[in-house]
Structure 1
């Protein structure tokens, strides 16, 4: 008779199962070892993103290169341009020699400008680093996801949603949770960065649950995440983390991937 007092799942079961399936897909395709031993929770702070540049583009590029490194993609040949100067062009064929992610990735000796993966930034976001980092992380996840050996759960029609979760998997969950549903950027679709006038695709609750999955798999205490998470999501995060931890069978399946 007191069943109504029990905790309800933080999300509906279909969404939770999809998130677990997405993590399984990411672990299979993007090196579970790199996830467990190299990937960190990226914090939007001066400690994680130190330094200053004298120009707007210099600052945008500094933050981008740091985000690439945290994603384990520092060896990828890329170029960053102001979205206002992004010309329509065919994206280059993705070719990464060696490891896709992590410390084992090898930096190519030289890559022509035309064969580099193009990333764009909105100059207006340089003064909003959290949104800028989330935008970069989503584009990095887009390119990384394109190298998967199998389609993501839910199919290509959910690609932007899948790559947001992949960005959380890469360690950028705080930026996505803190800025979900409140930032909007323009992006050149021809560069592979998503739709023009893009806002967050998943709700702040979906993203926060995915962030809780990241922290539980990495065995992080709640306080590590909570001190950097916006206040309005802290109570929900604790509920989500409890829900993730009680799903022992689902967690065991994830932890068994790549072992």
Structure 2
């Protein structure tokens, strides 16, 4: 019987980019700091709050994310905006065009970031995010990641893909991964169907490899993967199997 060699879900080019990016992040934060980052989970332990789709929920999530991302001595104001996506209906399916996530090709933004003065920042949240807790937290983490990379002078130019990887390195991989592809059923007055949205700047294949690589780097248990969506969990396990194999060759260790 022949067995195929374990393979990652990413191309060789993406694999090298992820590993080089994580090495750069290790230079920014220090090896000891990254090794001790906690994986943030969508549980009461990390977010002890009853989410009801209100602005209060976003303010609570922001305060927790600031602490988990170790952001101190800055003023971060939150505001809300409406920017509905285009939706196409086809035989009971609703597919929302949002292929580039926090700022899509249709200019539909989930979140916005700006620096308003020394040590002063604003984060905007599209109101639809208030109805999806994991997407809300993912969006807040992404915008705060801009603050860390751009606001603290680590980057001179915006890099959205690196910003998502930074979120994973700072413990928000579950939220980033789960928010890339959002699938849900809906019930109308005359019929029902399903709705799908794609968000974020990195695909599931890249996010799952990044999460597996970071998990290997930290030598973590994988009990937290029970919170991952089925599809990305399967990809994560495939990548971890590759990283644990004798075939694996990777830089970020």
Asked if 2 retains the 8 angstrom alpha-carbon contact of 1:161 and 1:201, the reply is yes
After the TM superposition, which residues 105-184 of structure 1 pair with which residues of structure 2 at under 5 Å, given as runs? 116-146=120-150, 147-149=152-154, 156=157, 159-182=159-182
Asked if 1 retains the 8 angstrom alpha-carbon contact of 2:138 and 2:176, the reply is yes
Seen in structure 2, the aligned counterparts of structure 1 residues 221 and 17 have a Cα distance that, compared at 3 Å, is same
The counterpart of 1:92, out of the listed 102, 116, 120, is 116
CA distance in 2, matches of 1:125, 1:63: 12
Match in the other structure for 1:251:
252
- Report the secondary structure of 1:251's partner residue: coil
Deviation of 1:11 (Å): 1.3
TM-score by length of 2: 0.72
**Could you list the runs of 5+ residues in structure 2 that have no partner in the other structure?**
83-111, 184-197
Deviation of 1:233 (Å): 2.4
**Could you list the runs of 5+ residues in structure 1 that have no partner in the other structure?**
96-115, 184-197, 253-259
Asked if 2 retains the 8 angstrom alpha-carbon contact of 1:131 and 1:179, the reply is yes
- What whole-Å deviation, never above 9, does each CA across 1:60-110 have from its counterpart, x for those lacking one? 1001111111111144321111235xxx99733555xxxxxxxxxxxxxxx
Deviation of 1:202 (Å): 0.9
Deviation of 1:239 (Å): 1.4
Seen in structure 2, the aligned counterparts of structure 1 residues 53 and 231 have a Cα distance that, compared at 3 Å, is closer
TM-score by length of 1: 0.70
Asked if 2 retains the 8 angstrom alpha-carbon contact of 1:30 and 1:148, the reply is no
Structure with a larger share of its residues in strand: 2
Q: Residue 66 in 1 paired to residue 90 in 2?
A: no
Seen in structure 2, the aligned counterparts of structure 1 residues 124 and 33 have a Cα distance that, compared at 3 Å, is same
Seen in structure 2, the aligned counterparts of structure 1 residues 89 and 27 have a Cα distance that, compared at 3 Å, is closer
Asked if 1 retains the 8 angstrom alpha-carbon contact of 2:10 and 2:206, the reply is yes
- What whole-Å deviation, never above 9, does each CA across 1:177-196 have from its counterpart, x for those lacking one? 1110339xxxxxxxxxxxxx
Deviation of 1:20 (Å): 0.6
Structure with a larger share of its residues in helix: 1
Q: Residue 16 in 1 paired to residue 15 in 2?
A: yes
Seen in structure 2, the aligned counterparts of structure 1 residues 63 and 89 have a Cα distance that, compared at 3 Å, is closer
